[in-house]
Amino acid sequence: NAGVMQNPRHLVRRRGQEARLRCSPMKGHSHVYWYRQLPEEGLKFMVYLQKENIIDESGMPKERFSAEFPKEGPSILRIQQVVRGDSAAYFCASSIAYEQYFGPGTRLTVT
Amino acid sequence: GENVEQHPSTLSVQEGDSAVIKCTYSDSASNYFPWYKQELGKRPQLIIDIRSNVGEKKDQRIAVTLNKTAKHFSLHITETQPEDSAVYFCAASAPGGKLIFGQGTELSVKP
């Protein structure tokens, strides 16, 4: 039973480019959460999605950030026109009930 | 808004001693409290959790206690081993299922 998958594991972008992060939940899980972790800090909630629906995006910046979880394929977190402050580890977690299981994360570096 | 405070931020113990990490939460509606262990550069790993209808839960050397009245919950690790060294995060559920994380505790177990 494969765990939560994320790709890429590392992503380097120049300021102004777009970053696209992918998350495939565990088999049978229909809930996906995205969290951001700045260096030596805790995890901050960004967005919660179910298939084809955004349930809660209260933690996501209003501009430049968007997320989707299509009927087919992985969930995608998109960051447009990246800035240095977007450099962080982005984790997704999948869930079927209470427990959330995390993927390995995507470490985004903006140069 | 929802908030979780975690103490201490760093904890150093001798191998074989016990370690205790404490958290408080602000949202009285929180009903699920997981603990995660994160090794350097790795994903947060769910190690134990407790729901609000239970006061204590134990799994081998790890136990969690919950005091709903005081909005406190704690992680207890007995007979610590060097491989327990990591950053530990507590979390509390918020409306919709998202998790609010504490700031983390860096545990160091000295052989």
For residue B94, the model assigns a pLDDT of 92
For residue B96, the model assigns a pLDDT of 84
For residue A80, the model assigns a pLDDT of 98
The answer to whether the Cβ–Cβ distance between B89 and A105 falls below 8 Å is: no
Residues of chain A numbered 16-35 and touching chain B (CB < 8 Å): 31, 33, 35
Q: List beta partners, residue A92.
A: A34
- pLDDT tens for residues B39-53? 999 999 999 999 988
Min Cα distance B38 → chain A (Å) is: 10
Please report the DSSP string for B18-65 in residue order. Answer: -EEEEEEES-TT--EEEEEEE-TTS--EEEEEEETT-SEEEETTEEEE
Q: List beta partners, residue A35.
A: A45, A91
The answer to whether the Cβ–Cβ distance between B34 and A100 falls below 8 Å is: yes
Contacts (Cβ under 8 Å, ≥6 apart) of A95: A29, A31, A32, A33, A101, B97
Full pLDDT tens readout for chain A, 111 residues: 579 999 999 999 999 999 999 999 999 899 999 999 998 788 999 999 999 999 999 999 999 999 999 999 999 999 999 999 999 999 999 998 889 999 999 999 999
Measured between beta carbons, which residues in chain A are less than 8 angstroms from residue B32?
A: 98
> B interface mutation test: which of A23, A40, A41, A43 has the most B CBs within 10 A?
A43
The answer to whether the Cβ–Cβ distance between B98 and A59 falls below 8 Å is: yes
3-state percent breakdown (helix, strand, coil) of chain B, nearest 5: 5, 55, 40
Low-confidence stretches of chain B (pLDDT < 50) are none
Min Cα distance B103 → chain A (Å) is: 5
CA B75/CA B46 separation, integer angstroms: 13
